[in-house]
Amino acid sequence: MPSAVGAARGLASFAGTGGGSSGGSGGVVVSPGASDPLDGFSAPGSVIGSDGRTQITATTTFPYRAIVEILFKQTAGGGYYGCTGWMIGKDTLATAGHCVHKGSGGSAGFYDRTTYILTPGRNAATKPYGTCKARRLYTVAGWANSNDTNYDYGAIKLDCTVGTKTGWFGFYWQSASLTGSPATVTGYPCDKPSGTMWTMSGTVASTQTRKITYTMDTYGCQSGSPVWRVHPSYGRAAMAIHTNGGSSSNSGTRLTEAAVANLRSWRDAP
């Protein structure tokens, strides 16, 4: 049966089996040492008014266990940068394009995948599912060649299948406006204690072809967080990927039909 005009199309979430893990198939990697700076992707002013974020301490419950802290180095001798990702399959997470690629140089612009430390469901010093490494990084030409924020999204293929335990988020697109839709942003901001997960809910303030805006508070290192809701067809499902902070609103890359197809293709790749 044809879908109604504006109807959402996407993939459903999966709650996973739960339980802990000793790490990825490549072994547990160590966290950055105390002397390694966490540079982050700062976004001054992205806490709008008073801070409305609340901490998630039950990080082994779904969907929070499918939120992933991302640490990586942009340069070999530099400090660690922070981002957030969210599982979309057994061994794949989605994130912002600028968390995997510098936004120019095409295929030569990816960051060094061997520096990535990927920790699902982290709660401060506790890492209930261990850590994984990156096998492959993905983004699209609009970001990789042109630094176009309309295409600021990507994915990471992990060296582990931790998603079978953590579960994964659904994701969807719709042609109709998202304005007024319930939305939550959850991630690992670098203005809070190291490795702690924070969240805030609200509604979508405005809809553009490839972006949405909202007033939920965020901060640096939350780049790549899912902008998600409980969807009647897709469960805990993302409609956008958080990418930018501002003084009066924050914004994310809206998931379009093409973006959903790319995320699905990356998820299904070996």
User: Is 177 one of the annotated active-site residues of the chain?
Assistant: no
Residue 141's CB: how many other CB atoms inside 10 A?
11
- Torsion angle of C-alpha atoms 41, 82, 68, 99, degrees rounded to 10: 60
**Catalytic: which of 46, 98, 101, 231?**
98
Angle 76-38-164 (CA atoms, 0-180°, nearest 5)?
90
User: Is 98 one of the annotated active-site residues of the chain?
Assistant: yes
The candidate with the shortest Cα–Cα distance to 80, out of 23, 119, 26, 121, is 119
**Catalytic: which of 21, 46, 223, 225?**
223
Q: Which residues participate in catalysis according to the annotation?
A: 98, 223
